[in-house]
A and B are shown apart, each in its own frame.
Chain A
Amino acid sequence: MNLDKSTAIKLLTRMMEIRQFEDKIMELLAKNIAEGGSHLYAGMEAVAVGAISVLNPDDYITSTHRGHGHAVAKDGDLNSLMAEILGKKTGVCKGKGGSLHLADVSKGNLGANGIVAGSLGIATGAGLSVKNRKSGQVVICFFGDGATNNGIFFECLNMASLWKLPVVYVCENNLYGMSVSVERACAVQDLAKKAQAFDMKSDCVDGQDVLAVRDTVDKWVDYARKGEGPSFIVANTYRYYGHSRSDPRAYRTREEEKFWKERDPIKIFSNKVLEQGLLSGEEVKAVEEEVTGAIEAAVDYAIKSPFPEPEELYTDLYV
């Protein structure tokens, strides 16, 4: 796909937003301003941003337990996402969902999920609905390497292929399901092979390269939109933080972390646009500063926002 200046700025902005959003949450967790836990997406930005950048506003996504990145990338409002993570009334889910349940159905984000592989059914059902309604929408279903060992993964891929549903299954292979490596958890190391069981098209992409992700996903979104059916893309990527804040990361080496951080998706993309002369150093810096301002404003908004009133405990359960 051709890359113009405004798209480059958009991609860079979204990736930086996610990175700074996550770094800030780590800080808030350390200061106990954010309670509970959070699974952070830092390091994986190119996958969510690249994939979602090819969607229309009314296309759907489903997300994962590591879902902040997808929520930001799907036109997320930083203020209400940050407020949600702090459990505030002004949160996108009114403080009832939290980090694991960021969702905005009005923007096509059918939700993060506290259950590994929990969203596969929702994405597949959205695909069935799109097909029946002939609405021309497409669904991207994000999940991790760990989800590919779960029963509903196989149930859903079978149905999607059988019924030729317009769903692009994007497996974010970040090498670990919590602490257990793909090597120690998967009989088949090449995860793309799992699609073969369902005669589903598969592809593999460097998940640290936002343009590569964008090109690959665009091809399969187009395929889905034409009614050709689902596809399965493995995006190889890495999460910088541990599974959660209490994770000492004993299952991986510092050398491995260093190796991946040298392949940082934001650096890779910044270097590329600088080399191509699409953006100047000042312009990249300006994007970064603008994002820093927006994240600080979001934190400020979230901290100053009120918690829900006690009466809210019983609202929103039933229509």
Chain B
Amino acid sequence: MREITYRQALNEALKEEMERDATVFLLGEDIAIYGGAYGVTADLWKKYGDKRVLDTPISENAIVGVGLGAALTGMRPVAEIMYIDFIGLCLEQLNNQVAKIRYMFGGKCKVPFTLRTEGGAGRTLGAHHSQSLESWLIHIPGIKVVMPATPYDAKGLLKSAIREDNPVVFIEHKMLYNVKGPVPEDEYTVPIGSAEVKREGKDVTLLTYSRMLSFCLEAADVLEKEGIDVEVVDLRTLLPLDVAAIVDSVKKTNRVVIVEEDCKTGGTGAEIGMKVVEEAFDWLDAPIARVAGADVPMPKSPVLEKLAIPDAERICEAVRKILNK
């Protein structure tokens, strides 16, 4: 199968959905002529023009509100918020309006709205361009939250998100854009709300998503040489969480380590871990462990930045610890 980058996979998903459905249009900062801060919308403006690839002023709250208004009235907008760090500027519209409007209106409207953004550390961009804020978003009933880790999933999930009649926050990772992986040329989608076992194992389950998947797979290779058989579950969607897939894996391995890039306190791992306790406690042979980001603003220095997020070695240590090895 051909290999393309995560960026190209996303670009293809946008192009294909724009071809498929004339109501799909893109709006966001620097997405047209510039092609997006990370190049995801490259060349789409040339093909479709302003009407369907719309550069907006730097007005995040209005980008989300305008997207909602368009979604309510017959369009299928895909908005881009350049960095998830800017989500605070539009949380009012996202949390109070986008997420709640269908419920508040008694189900008498649809909100086919995709909000693309990207997050994560790794480029030493400092505290305002490196955060992982997904835990804020999974606390908002009414939206879905998707975080793909591979080019294949990125394309398939973005196509599903655009076709959804519910609002989806689609969070990419800045360190994945250049990562290559197999992506079929034929049409496919990946369902929202379904996790995938990316590596089978029997001794311990790593529950992870987004960029941390690659660190988990790296750790699994190291641990294999030590005789530890690691299963890696890529959650792919954080809201709604694929609890059945998590439980299946826990039943098999009886041990769980959650690997997340966001700050540990109040992070996604807290929710995922409690779901395991609620749904699979009887199958646990060890306490659930978390390998998470440090509870600090992301520091600039490359040395400190590396320390602030999990790496393969720390994942290995956590696994050895719960296996008493």
Contacts and interface: CB of A to CB of B under 8 A. Distances in A.
Given A124-B65, A317-B103, 14 more contacts: A93-B106, A96-B105, A97-B105, A110-B72, A115-B96, A120-B65, A121-B61, A124-B69, A127-B69, A130-B73, A152-B59, A156-B65, A316-B102, A318-B142
Contact of A93 (B61, B68, B77, B104): B104
B75 interface: yes
B105 A101 contact: yes
A283 B65 CA distance: 45
A124 B70 CA distance: 8
A103 B73 contact: no
Contacts of A97: 104-106
Interface in A120-153: 120-130, 132-133, 135, 151-152
B48 to A, nearest CB: 12
Interface string B72-109: 11110100000000000000110011000111111111
A95 B106 contact: yes
B62 interface: yes
A129 B111 CA distance: 13
Contact of B69 (A95, A106, A126): A126
A121 B142 contact: no
Contact of A122 (B51, B65, B75, B92): B65
A96 B106 contact: yes
Nearest to A114: B96
Contacts of A129: 69-70, 73-75
A276 interface: no
B166 A128 contact: no
A-B CB proximity, top 8 nearest: A121-B65, A125-B69, A316-B107, A94-B106, A155-B62, A155-B59, A125-B66, A93-B106
- The residue in A111, A133, A158, A159 that gathers the most chain B C-beta atoms within 10 A of its C-beta is A159
A246 interface: no
A159 B101 contact: no
Interface in A266-314: none
A315 interface: yes
B85 to A, nearest CB: 17
B228 to A, nearest CB: 39
A125 B96 contact: no
Interface residues of B, number: 40
Given A126-B69, A155-B62, A121 B93 contact: yes
Contacts of B68: 121-122, 125
A319 B107 CA distance: 8
Contact of A319 (B66, B106, B166): B166
A159 B62 contact: yes
Interface of A: 60, 62, 91-97, 101, 103-106, 110-111, 113-115, 118, 120-130, 132-133, 135, 151-152, 155-156, 158-159, 162, 315-319
B106 A92 contact: yes
A311 B19 CA distance: 40
Contact of B61 (A92, A127, A128, A155): A155
A159 B57 CA distance: 7
Given A125-B73, A155-B57, A315 B107 contact: yes
B180 interface: no
A152 B65 CA distance: 9
A114 B105 CA distance: 13
Contacts of B103: 96, 316-317
Contacts of B75: 128-129, 132-133
A310 to B, nearest CB: 16
A97 B105 CA distance: 6
A78 to B, nearest CB: 17
Contacts of B166: 318-319
A121 B25 CA distance: 17
Contacts of A110: 69, 72-73
A304 B147 CA distance: 47
Interface in B14-69: 25, 51, 56-57, 59, 61-62, 64-69
B141 interface: yes
12 contacts: A121-B65, A122-B72, A122-B97, A125-B73, A125-B77, A127-B69, A129-B69, A129-B70, A129-B74, A315-B107, A317-B103, A318-B166
